[in-house]
Amino acid sequence: MRTPFTAAAPRSSGPHNWLTHVEHDWRSPVWRHWLEALGRSFRVIRYDERGCGLSDRDIHPPGLDDFVGDLEVVVDAVGLETFDLLGTSQGGAIAVTYAARHPERVRRLVLYGASARGRLRRGQTGAAEEADLLHDLIRHGWGRPNPAFRRVFSTLFTPDAGPEHLEALDELMRVSLTGEEALRLRRAFDAVDVTDLARRVRAPTIVIHPRDDGIVPFDEGRLLATLIPGARFEPLDGRNHLMLETEPAWTRFIELVRSFLGVAAPSEHPREPVDDRAMDALSDREREILALVAAGRSNVEIAEALVLSPRTVERHLSNVYDKLGITGKAARAAAAARHARR
């Protein structure tokens, strides 16, 4: 499985959910504000869930162990010893499982819009019928040009969104995964139950949940917090499972995460000086690519100029940013500025 990820002073990693595409997300108002806000304060390592975005499509129905194994692969590939772990939505169950199995590696755990139990494990009347209905909508309408079927999910995820944001979410659904993969993942997570594993988590944990979340019930978030020993529960006033950048709940969420992880707001950080030793650590190829970045070339243009694949360029740039300690969306500009000052 391909696991592309983007990176950024404390290290933070996390399993995402089924609506991701690590390249498209930077252009989408659905996830862009997450990447920008978290990237200003943390080295963020993320990846596309199996079957989604740039990851390979599966040939068999995945289970929880598969998803946790993917996270283990990414963490080991990046070389993280200890780190803070963020689990959003269905990624919360993956994060809980990883934290329970690897207590020596997870410093702190942040869970947002998460649940210990999938839809079919909550003991709710009519849950099976509701799950079947949503599965039918995915099966018959996910891949159609007309967004009517997908719009059901859009309004559940973000009921307060305007037309432009709903269109962006519809586009994200189309580029993230096929209807077949969506159905496969939905079925897998409907059957998840990590209640026993949650009791084994030892990392300091904060569980953050919108009061009127239409995807994961508020009571499920509160239950998750009661299962994890010593976990702190923080409700948000709102009903958007995928928070809008303009809503107060989003600002509150970022404040809670920064405070819990012990990181000051970006404006409180002094400007980082140019580190000549870090520049000297770059390989010849990395310097060559950085010079083209400074010249304003895109990744595709750099790949063409050096007869490389765009993915290889991305990997070199990720190494450059890591060596230079550059984070966030402005990494390219910061790297180019450092090159220019040499």
**Span of 18-22, 65-69, 107-111 with lowest mean pLDDT:** 18-22
Higher pLDDT, 311 or 229: 229
Q: Does 5 have pLDDT greater than 80? A: no
Residue the block writes with tokens 């995807």: 215
Q: Which residues contact 292 (CB under 8 A, 6 or more apart)?
A: 301, 302, 305, 306
Report the chain's mean pLDDT, rounded to a whole number: 83
Q: What is the pLDDT of residues 84-103, one digit of tens each?
A: 999 999 999 999 999 999 99
pLDDT band, residue 298 (cuts 50/70/90)? confident
pLDDT at 133: 80
Closest CA to 53 of 15, 14, 3: 3
Higher pLDDT, 268 or 174: 174
Q: Which residues contact 135 (CB under 8 A, 6 or more apart)?
A: 183, 186, 187
Q: What is the pLDDT of residues 25-71, one digit of tens each?
A: 888 899 999 988 998 888 888 888 888 888 887 667 789 999 999 99
Higher pLDDT, 106 or 16: 106
Average pLDDT over residues 207-217: 95
pLDDT at 335: 61
pLDDT at 227: 98
pLDDT band, residue 341 (cuts 50/70/90)? low
Provide the percentage of residues in the chain whose pLDDT is more than 70: 85
Q: Which helix (H) or strand (E) holds 105?
A: none
Q: Which residues contact 40 (CB under 8 A, 6 or more apart)?
A: 266, 327, 328
pLDDT at 337: 57
Listing DSSP states for 182-247 in one string gives HHHHHHHHHT-B-HHHHTT--S-EEEEEETT-SSS-HHHHHHHHHHSTT-EEEEES---SS--TTS
pTM: 0.74
Q: Which domains does the chain have, with CATH numbers?
A: 11-267 (3.40.50.1820), 270-340 (1.10.10.10)
Q: Which residues contact 145 (CB under 8 A, 6 or more apart)?
A: none
Q: Does 10 have pLDDT greater than 70? A: no
Higher pLDDT, 153 or 203: 203
